[in-house]
Structure 1
């Protein structure tokens, strides 16, 4: 289905918080990013490093890489988070963010979207499917949520907030999906983690499927995954939880059934997410609260209180 053939079948609810959205036409020089250190593997516990997900061979073949400081890399570092971008889908394969709840700063929203100069603009999208939701377009859904990396002092938090407004951190999402239960999961885990170490690391990404509908000349992911690592408040040990969610219903009938059942949000074993996203979480999988469950196990989430944290 091409953009010329597509007639919106669903009128998304407009959000005043998203208006106006600006796309910066002038691309900043790569040198502006030299101080970005990105995701920290030892953020939660220096003794237990939580590495970035390792992509499958197929995913590696599709990753946008670039030369940076004398090395070839596919990881784009920002303030307190990093992303990895798919060339064919023009959106992140995943983002990885460190969140410090104890030093979080409330930063005023400034929707100034921009392209990252370190990779080719042809692998980034800020227009296409994005636009006025009243006309059936999608919002630019942050993979690393806007406020998640906003900690560590006002200036640092402000820069982190600005960094989330990159094309390399955006995927097409219906705002009602992005702003519902899916957006509350991280807050809930943070409130229930070790109060002496209010830190979590969050990995988020779309699930790419060949059957994803093509709208506005771009394949729209119907499912997203999220994995959160934290120190449990009671046991004081590292834990990890995984989630899969679908925006298929909100997209407006383009898919008559869900891929994984009738529930929009589910808690899943990390092994299941590895299979769906074609990547590996390495040692983190051994800390999964659902480690003993089968890969097909899924627990429906109607509310954040349904989440199993231990």
Structure 2
């Protein structure tokens, strides 16, 4: 458990997508200190419990020399690497082949391309097509396409344009959540595909340690968690192992793992001090519910006595 870590390098991006959970843009300068990132890469690479390290942003290929430097730090330790990109660099066939050669050298086992109708104004579809086609010559790096969708932006036209380049490629459409820039989207455009009445949908999909460019450490990589108070950092020199200790010892996360979100939802709905929290009957993802429940310190403070009662009843 907890054998992987994610590093979110920064909010600088070649795009300023209307749905971006981090509000990334070409003008953004928000990022972690490069020296801290180097130190973090060394620590994660040297930790024998970790076998997978992921890099995301922003757009991580904008500063490719720095990304290479980080991959070079990790390479001697034979960790698996995952990269997440919008694929803007795919417009150059020569550069695409160079990057795939590098990815094989650095043991990048997975490349996830984020592309949909929100990215389309900033990244040419032909760039993505080039990446998908080129990936066939580099079988050691598995490529996947992730698409954020709404009722009016299902990206079917893009998939049709990609044609045969998609053959053998895993494509995932996921409903957009109202976080980050997506808060400004028409509320009626969100696809609420889950229901509170279905208890099977009320469980957290999983935990992983995420080092975010805002300076915090989060317990997962969901876009919704970065707009909550579910922070794990207690100091800037906090080790990965200490972070795992906090994840394992935190009562809130223990209840979340053991009981799912139903326990929290029932607590909120059955006690008057939580009248300010509205839990929708239908939602895009359980991460939406997590965002609503733990958005403020006040909410967590109000839940704390109930969590302590839960703990005392279990002892």
Asked if Structure 1 and Structure 2 have the same fold, meaning a TM-score greater than 0.5 normalized by the shorter chain, the answer is no
TM-score normalised according to structure 1 size: 0.28
Q: Taking structure 2 as the reference length, what is the TM-score of the superposition?
A: 0.28
The structure with the largest strand share of the pair is 1
